[in-house]
């Protein structure tokens, strides 16, 4: 489901290229940095950004409720947050080869070690390439523009 509690399937994104990122809202560094890069790419696209789906799919459904996702993603427009029960999310994790492991900390909180690539899909939902937080903005932008060509 999305951050508004509405049902979601990958059929909902077909017809437009997509950026798909898996992470969690309590992430201290990698997720916010990667989401910021995604937001920068979309911002630099200008009006063409409306031709792209941008998804943030949780790897931590226990804490990433729809309300938590909605609140967190206000900093990264127009990224759409997806959460749900572990069984449904596991299907997406398996399709994309996402690894996510709980990393205990000394506090009552925990961290997640997870795959951290942004997947670029064409309008049919086929994989085309990836970028990550170490990718230069201009390189990521060129890769995303290629999806629109």
Q: Read off the pLDDT of residues 114-136 as tens digits, 9 standing for 90 and up.
A: 999 999 999 999 999 999 999 99
What does the pLDDT read at residue 109? 83
Q: State in words which class domain 10-148 has.
A: alpha beta
Structure tokens at 143: 């890769």
What does the pLDDT read at residue 59? 97
- Which residues, including other chains, have CB under 8 Å from residue 30's CB and lie 6 or more apart? 23, 116, 133
- Which residues, including other chains, have CB under 8 Å from residue 67's CB and lie 6 or more apart? 3
Structure tokens at 89: 């999310």
The predicted-structure confidence for 18-72, as pLDDT tens digits, reads as follows 999 999 999 999 999 999 999 999 999 999 999 999 999 999 999 999 999 999 9
pLDDT reading at 96 higher than 90: yes
What does the pLDDT read at residue 10? 84
């Amino acid at each position: 489901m999305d951050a508004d509690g509405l049902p979601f399937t990958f059929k909902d994104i077909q017809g437009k290229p997509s950026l798909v990122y898996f992470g969690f809202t309590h992430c201290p560094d990698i997720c916010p940095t990667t989401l910021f890069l995604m937001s920068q790419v979309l911002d630099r696209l200008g009006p063409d950004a409306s031709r792209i789906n941008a998804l943030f799919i949780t790897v931590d459904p226990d804490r990433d409720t729809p309300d938590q996702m909605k609140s967190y993603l206000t900093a990264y427009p127009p990224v759409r947050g997806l959460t749900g029960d572990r069984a449904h999310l596991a299907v997406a994790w398996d399709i994309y080869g996402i690894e996510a492991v709980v990393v205990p900390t000394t506090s009552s909180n925990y961290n997640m070690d997870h795959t951290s690539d942004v997947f670029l899909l064409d309008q049919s939902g086929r994989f085309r390439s990836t970028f990550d937080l170490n990718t230069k903005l201009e390189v990521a932008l060129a890769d995303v523009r290629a999806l629109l060509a």
